[in-house]
Amino acid sequence: MCHLPEKKPQQSLSEYSGEIYKHGCEALKDKNYDLSLIRGDRPEMLMIDAASVYQKVPIFHIEVGVISGATDEYVRHAITKLSHIHFPDSESAKQRIIRMGEDPKNVYMFGSLDTEFAMDVEKYPILPKPYVVVLYHPQPND
């Protein structure tokens, strides 16, 4: 497991991404990992993806092929092209990945982890009642 540094308050995303890449390469070096499991579309994940490529670690990407219209979309598609096995969360995302040139036998319909969790949230006894779910997805320039 790779413990990534926290982004410093005045640190640019470019500087932080460089740190993530460096830590990712160190964490993967000489370890012979079976795979890197990437979830998401943030620049931090792109850096781990790139480190995995250079360390020759196969990459599995979860929740791939989504279209958002945000900057994350470019990062997500770059991760797709660097990844070996793809797990989209919808049939339309699966078809999009295949249209991007990925081999259909490396694309497996997976579903959404967030949706699965939300559907089962009542089963978790640690949540007090009533409860509120708050979601936050920062933009890459945060």
Summarised one tens digit per residue, pLDDT across range 71-102 is: 778 888 899 999 999 999 889 999 999 999 99
- Kindly indicate the confidence band of residue 142, based on its pLDDT and cuts at 50, 70 and 90: very low
- Residues 45/19, Cβ–Cβ less than 8 Å: no
Tokens 């070096």 found at = 29
Rounded CA separation 58/68 (Å) = 26
Does pLDDT of 110 surpass 70?
A: yes
Rounded CA separation 94/19 (Å) = 32
What's residue 141's pLDDT? Answer: 54
